[in-house]
Amino acid sequence: MERRWQRHCWPRQLPLFFLLILLFLATLVSADCECGYSSSIGGSNTHLRAVFTDLIESDFSADGYDINTDTDWVRQAFNLTNEKARGAYGEMFAVENVVVMKPPTISDRKDGDDGQTEWQGSSSSEGLSLMVRTELVEGMVPVAEVDTRRLDMHWGTFRASIKMTGERGTCAAFFWYFNDTQEIDMEFLSKEFNRSNSSYPVNLVLQSREAMQAGFDAHGTKNFVKAYLPFDPTSDYHEYRIDYLPNRVYFFADGIPLAEMDGPAVPTSAGHLILQHWSNGNKLWSGGPPAKDSALMVKYVKAYFNSSTIQRQQDWQNRCKNPLAHRAVCNIPDVTPTNYSAARWFFRDQENMTNNQTLSGESEGSRLERVWCMTFYALLFVTGWAFALW
Ligand SMILES: *[C@@H]1O[C@H](CO)[C@@H](O)[C@H](O)[C@H]1NC(C)=O
Ligand SMILES: *[C@@H]1O[C@H](CO)[C@@H](O)[C@H](O)[C@H]1NC(C)=O
Ligand SMILES: *[C@@H]1O[C@H](CO)[C@@H](O)[C@H](O)[C@H]1NC(C)=O
Ligand SMILES: *[C@@H]1O[C@H](CO)[C@@H](O)[C@H](O)[C@H]1NC(C)=O
Ligand SMILES: *[C@@H]1O[C@H](CO)[C@@H](O)[C@H](O)[C@H]1NC(C)=O
Ligand SMILES: *[C@@H]1O[C@H](CO)[C@@H](O)[C@H](O)[C@H]1NC(C)=O
Ligand SMILES: *[C@@H]1O[C@H](CO)[C@@H](O)[C@H](O)[C@H]1NC(C)=O
Ligand SMILES: *[C@@H]1O[C@H](CO)[C@@H](O)[C@H](O)[C@H]1NC(C)=O
């Protein structure tokens, strides 16, 4: 017990202790962003904004990032037969197909790599690597998926920095999901990319994937837009973004609006985020499997959203005293085609901007530990108070 206090409780909880005292003395203390994060709506050139209360920011290329201790993302393991997968082959989703790639060290860098080329022109691969492998396992293509642990995302702006594979025959998907009829999808088919005529489509869908894989091609209808990217998505990381609002969904690439959808197909539930890289040989969709092992690289995901849980809504009500107060609401910076600096911005890296707004890092164990420590300090504080030490 003694050691546990020293190692886990004392150093980390000490600031909390003083915060408690501060809270006690000055009830007006507040933190930045306590009323939420404000996002542009429909593009950064409009003045419409929406506010979200919660956030998950995952920097997969950060020093020390470890998927094994990540409490926000869960690697998936399940097998699909070819009938279930609706392809020529089955799919084997396995945790070992999700690999963390570290950024190159300084000595690995080519001459002339400055901050800008690091983002814009890098051939390096860093972050989460979602692999589709070429060698079948018992008739299944080895593929990869990670999901957010939280399932309570009810409206939000979801942003992922991704570099696609150049190998033909995979489907890369970034999507928000509740069930097969409440789903917001960005799907990239690597076989559709064509360098010789600079054609890089992305399939934007509010619909069931069953319909798509059955060859549904409602190209140009309200719930299915094939949009063309103004860049080669296989040569570098770009930010793909889904904004999920009541009765309306927007899709972006590097802040450029790709499509806007409304109508009855817009979901109404709370859901979660999924990143997938797969192939099943279905000629109408993914094609493949690819001729070489293929990696989908994900550098970061940033999700700003409202929670459907009563607990989180109450937390917001308790901490947000005045939404109009200075810095009570923080603006989320946007990536634009000419300005990528927002890609390197994380609220969680700042002091005091994510207080009480994320469950990141909270496993059941650490939550219990926190309760323990808080109780300890509360007792200490009250004791001190009683003996007039403070
Ligand atoms: C947190 O932000 C609030 C409001 O801006 C400020 O008063 C307070 O001093 C900050 N606390 C720390 C620890 O930076
Ligand atoms: C999210 O929740 C906050 C707090 O309840 C609310 O002010 C805001 O309008 C909500 N955002 C959306 C898009 O509904
Ligand atoms: C999927 O199938 C492979 C090969 O039979 C097997 O090794 C693996 O354990 C299966 N995965 C799951 C989650 O059942
Ligand atoms: C998805 O959820 C909605 C809302 O609960 C429900 O109406 C719909 O039937 C569900 N769809 C499927 C395929 O289960
Ligand atoms: C790419 O586009 C060019 C020009 O439209 C066409 O000739 C070529 O067949 C296409 N390549 C593939 C692999 O589809
Ligand atoms: C490029 O070629 C593909 C065939 O690979 C075709 O489907 C697409 O329409 C072409 N795009 C342009 C802009 O010509
Ligand atoms: C680039 O974007 C950042 C973050 O949104 C912003 O603070 C900065 O002023 C922008 N720079 C230029 C030159 O517009
Ligand atoms: C937020 O604050 C409330 C009230 O202090 C507390 O009960 C809750 O556990 C906190 N949640 C997080 C995620 O910090």
pLDDT number for residue 46: 75
pLDDT number for residue 7: 38
The region of weakest confidence among 42-51, 68-77, 163-172, 333-342 is 42-51
**Ligand 8 center to 325 CA (angstroms):** 21
Q: Which atom of ligand 3 is nearest to the CA of 77?
A: 13
Confidence of residue 30 (pLDDT cuts 50, 70, 90): low
**Virtual CA dihedral for 241, 245, 249, 252, nearest 10 degrees?**
-20
Q: State yes or no: pLDDT of 229 exceeds 90.
A: yes
Ligand 1 probe mutation, 14, 22, 30, 349, most atoms within 8 A of CB: 30
Q: Which atom of ligand 7 is nearest to the CA of 345?
A: 4
Q: What is each CA distance from 150 to 57, 290, 309, 388, in whole angstroms?
A: 13, 32, 10, 44
pLDDT number for residue 47: 82
Nearest to 58 by CA among 142, 158, 134: 158
pLDDT number for residue 194: 97
Q: State yes or no: pLDDT of 89 exceeds 60.
A: yes
Preceding omega of 233 cis (within 30 degrees of 0): no
Confidence of residue 372 (pLDDT cuts 50, 70, 90): low
The domains found in the chain, sorted by start residue, are: 1-30+365-390 (no CATH), 36-319 (2.60.120.200)
Predicted TM-score of the model (pTM): 0.85
pLDDT number for residue 10: 46
Ligand 5 probe mutation, 168, 194, 228, most atoms within 8 A of CB: 194
The region of weakest confidence among 61-70, 81-90, 380-389 is 380-389
pLDDT number for residue 102: 86
The token duo for 148 is: 């957010």
pLDDT number for residue 119: 38
Nearest to 188 by CA among 95, 296, 336, 46: 296
Phi, psi of 224 (to 5 degrees): -150, 110
Ligand 5 probe mutation, 193, 197, 234, most atoms within 8 A of CB: 197
